[in-house]
């Protein structure tokens, strides 16, 4: 990790960086050892920007990429996608067009760019700052241009999406989500509410469940309009500072009754250098109020918090993969 981050690159500097002739191949040393599946995920993924002003307290992105979003120009992104189509291994699919948060491309506060980040408040927590011009219009236009390029079969948005920003954009937020549902999601859309308890969400620096509930309703409505059978997948965190067995039971109830799922994408909180959540983990205090903060540090108890969410209901059989049938050769 590098902190403080390197100075922000300008759009022109970022554009110049991505004109370099990246080969999108394994180093010959590793290529001799065989196929690396991870390359399939990133080979034809396009980075649109750096930095993130989401500032989730457990996330280190703002620490090593900065709290100011540095975006590439539209033409630079189009040029890179066009270059991908000329690669001999390209089969028509761009696996991602995004960054730390996909829908932050081109959205930044002019005041912050000129004067730097605010000391006393955040850009989108607990709600979007009035001076943050959240507008998904440019991104909608970019995606349409990318889809129109020759040899493009499908473009996915695999980077994270801030659903609270979609709701905050009254002009283009709904149209942006409709665009994602119609063209850029395959089967399921992954979002990261992380929890439902207000106390835990406040400790995480995440928006309340009101945003999640509003987004779910909008997503369901638009998916039905498009006659798409799509689902939401939820990333959740167990044992974050402030999280107790009681709050995990609350999350379990919310997942079952409201989200209608038994969560699978669950991460046990891991301290990462220079984040607020790690400070809470170490000091067992809320850094803003100075009040004590419960922190689960016993590994067995952390696992218990996670298992609360993954346990099947009494009348529900746990999922087991189908047994493989023995092949009987024909006589």
Give per-residue pLDDT as tens, 295-330: 999 999 999 999 999 886 555 554 444 444 444 444
Structure letter (DSSP) for residue 102: G
* CATH classification at residue 72: 3.30.750.210
Q: pLDDT for 164-188, tens place per residue?
A: 999 999 999 999 999 999 999 988 9
Quick one: pLDDT at residue 2?
63
Q: What is the mean pLDDT of the chain?
A: 92
Q: Which two tokens stand for residue 277?
A: 């959540």
> Residues 168, 222: one domain?
no
> Residues 164, 271: one domain?
no
Count CB-CB contacts under 10 A for residue 4.
Answer: 9
- Domain annotation covers residue 323: no
Structure letter (DSSP) for residue 187: S
Q: Which stretch of 38-42, 199-203, 280-284, 288-292 has the lowest confidence by average pLDDT? A: 38-42
- pTM to 2 decimals? 0.90
> Residues 211, 132: one domain?
no
The DSSP-derived string for 87-127 is STT--SEE-EEESSSGGGTT---HHHHHH---SS--SSSSS
- Hey, which of 1-15, 283-297, 300-314 has the most confident mean pLDDT? 283-297
- Domain annotation covers residue 266: yes
Domain ranges, residue 14 = 1-186
> Residues 174, 215: one domain?
no
- Domain annotation covers residue 250: yes
Q: pLDDT for 230-270, tens place per residue?
A: 999 999 999 999 999 999 999 999 999 999 999 988 999 99
Q: pLDDT for 153-170, tens place per residue?
A: 999 999 999 999 999 999
- Domain annotation covers residue 245: yes
> Residues 93, 2: one domain?
yes
Calculate the alpha carbon distances from 87 to 22, 83, 90, 91, 185 in Å.
11, 7, 5, 9, 24
Count of domains for the chain: 2
pLDDT range class, residue 81, cuts 50, 70, 90: very high
> Residues 259, 228: one domain?
yes
């Amino acid at each position: 990790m590098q902190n403080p981050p390197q100075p922000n690159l300008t759009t022109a500097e970022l554009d110049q960086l991505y004109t370099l002739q990246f080969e999108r191949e394994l180093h010959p040393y590793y290529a001799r050892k065989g196929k690396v599946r991870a390359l399939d995920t990133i080979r034809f993924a396009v980075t649109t920007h750096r930095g993130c002003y989401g500032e989730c307290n457990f996330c280190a992105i703002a620490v090593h990429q900065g709290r100011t979003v540095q975006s590439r120009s539209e033409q630079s992104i189009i040029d890179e996608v066009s270059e991908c189509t000329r690669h001999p291994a390209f089969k028509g699919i761009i696996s991602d067009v995004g960054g730390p948060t996909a829908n932050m491309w081109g959205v930044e506060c002019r005041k912050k760019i000129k004067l730097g980040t605010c000391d006393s408040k955040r850009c989108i927590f607990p709600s979007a700052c009035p001076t943050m011009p959240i507008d998904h219009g440019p991104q909608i236009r970019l995606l349409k241009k990318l889809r129109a390029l020759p040899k493009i079969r499908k473009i996915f948005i695999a980077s994270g999406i801030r659903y609270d920003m979609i709701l905050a954009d009254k002009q283009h937020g709904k149209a942006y989500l409709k665009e994602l549902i119609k063209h850029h999601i395959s089967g399921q859309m992954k979002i990261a509410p992380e929890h439902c308890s207000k106390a835990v969400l406040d400790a995480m620096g995440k928006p309340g469940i009101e945003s999640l509930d509003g987004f779910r309703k909008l997503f369901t409505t638009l998916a039905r309009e498009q006659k798409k059978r799509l689902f939401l997948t939820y990333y959740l965190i167990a044992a974050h500072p402030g999280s107790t067995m009681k709050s995990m039971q609350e999350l379990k109830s919310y997942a079952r009754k409201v989200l209608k799922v038994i969560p699978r994408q669950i991460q046990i909180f891991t301290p990462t250098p220079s984040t607020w959540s790690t400070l809470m983990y170490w000091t067992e205090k809320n850094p803003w109020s100075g009040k004590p903060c419960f922190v689960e540090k016993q590994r067995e108890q952390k696992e218990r918090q996670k298992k609360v969410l993954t346990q099947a209901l009494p009348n529900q059989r746990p999922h087991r993969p189908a047994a493989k049938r023995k092949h009987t050769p024909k006589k």
